[in-house]
Structure 1
Amino acid sequence: MAPTRIVIAKPGLDGHDRGAKVIARALRDAGMEIIYTGLHQTPEQIVETAIQEDADIVGLSVLSGAHMTLFRKLMDLLTERDARDIMVFGGGIIPGGDIALLHEMGVARIFTPGTKTQEVVDWVNDAMASA
């Protein structure tokens, strides 16, 4: 079985990528293939990368407060490109009330500050096993 392919992305103007890199490294160390897009990516660029790289999952790191707009645009683009089979998760400073709305949008999981990297790895493994 091929390793899980995950695009880790930092959308928008937020320039803080330490958390995204820590998660990317933990997932890589767990045997997954990671494509890190770098900073300041648009939802269009992220979706294009995910499709071109045949990703199983996209992970967004959002600390800017623009999470609702960015996730909605990403999910809409995945639908438009007939790529909703790509699972989406995210992390960052996201209020609890917004997490439920993101789930309704189709975002599979949101991780908040303080989440252990092993929890993310375990979730990805479980999500892929049941996909």
Structure 2
Amino acid sequence: MKQKAQARNIKILVAKLGLDGHDRGALVLCRAFRDAGMEVIYSGLFATPERVAQIAEDEDVDAIAMSLLNGAHGTLFPRVVKALKKKKINDVLVVGGGVIPEIDHKDLIKGGVDHVFGPGTPLPTIINHINTGVGKLRKI
């Protein structure tokens, strides 16, 4: 478990889940997070939910940004949350993004994803959300 109110930079895992080989957006996020002062770990293509949870545990990340464009968000995003819970990881901000119909956002959030970002979301909006969310988690 992370110590409270750490002074270190945010460490974020950018996870490209499932059989989705389109990583341009994920790589743009990696660079934007790095430019914002975050330490970035990239899962690479075709990560499983269990692999994402393992990386999160091994690297002691503060946040996970999941990217998915192939329509499997309703299955894979909840499996990541479940895999984190199985490892008793409760202090990591989990967000998702990609081509995800707005009608699915509520169910994903109910299932433990903090926020879902759609195409065209400005990078500063995503960065600010992560900074705020991690800040709240660090104060717990």
TM-score (norm 1): 0.97
Contact 1:75 1:84 in 2 (8 A): no
Greater than 4 Å deviation, 4+ residue runs: none
Report whether the alignment pairs 1:126 with 2:132: yes
Between the aligned partners of 2:70 and 2:135, the Cα distance in structure 1 is 32
| Match among 11, 18, 21 for residue 12 of structure 1 | 18
Q: What is the root-mean-square deviation in Å for CA atoms of aligned residues?
A: 0.8
SS at match of 1:119: helix
**What SS class does the counterpart of residue 96 from structure 2 fall into?**
strand
Amino acid at match of 1:100: K
Deviates further, 45-54 or 77-86 = 77-86
Alpha-carbon offset, residue 15 of structure 1: 0.4
- With 120-129 and 107-116 compared, the bigger mean Cα shift is at 120-129
| Paired amino acid for 1:18 | R
Per the alignment, in what secondary structure is the counterpart of residue 114 of structure 1? coil
**Runs of 5+ unmatched residues, structure 1:** none
Matched, 1:24 2:30: yes
Quick check: 1:8–1:60 contact (8 Å CA) kept in 2?
yes
Q: Distance in 1 between matches of 2:86 and 2:44?
A: 24
Point out where structure 2 has 5 or more consecutive residues left out of the alignment: 1-6
Is the contact made by 2:93 and 2:130 (CA closer than 8 Å) also made in structure 1?
Answer: no
Which residue number corresponds to residue 106 of structure 2?
100
Match of residue 64 from structure 1: 70
Map residues 10-89 of structure 1 onto 2, 5 A cutoff: 10-89=16-95
Question: How many residue pairs get matched?
Answer: 131
CA-CA distance at 1:128 after TM superposition: 1.9
Is 1:110 equivalent to 2:116 in the alignment? yes
**3-state SS of 1:61 partner:** strand
Q: CA deviation at 1:129?
A: 2.1
Contact 1:5 1:34 in 2 (8 A): yes
Note the C-alpha offset of 1:118. 1.0
* Structure 2 Cα separation of the partners of residues 56 and 71 of structure 1: 17
Q: Percent identity?
A: 44
What TM-score do you get using the length of structure 2 for normalisation?
0.91
> What is the alpha-carbon distance in structure 2 between the residues aligned to residue 129 and residue 77 of structure 1?
23
CA offsets, 1:75-99, max 9 Å, x none?
Answer: 1111111012211001001111110
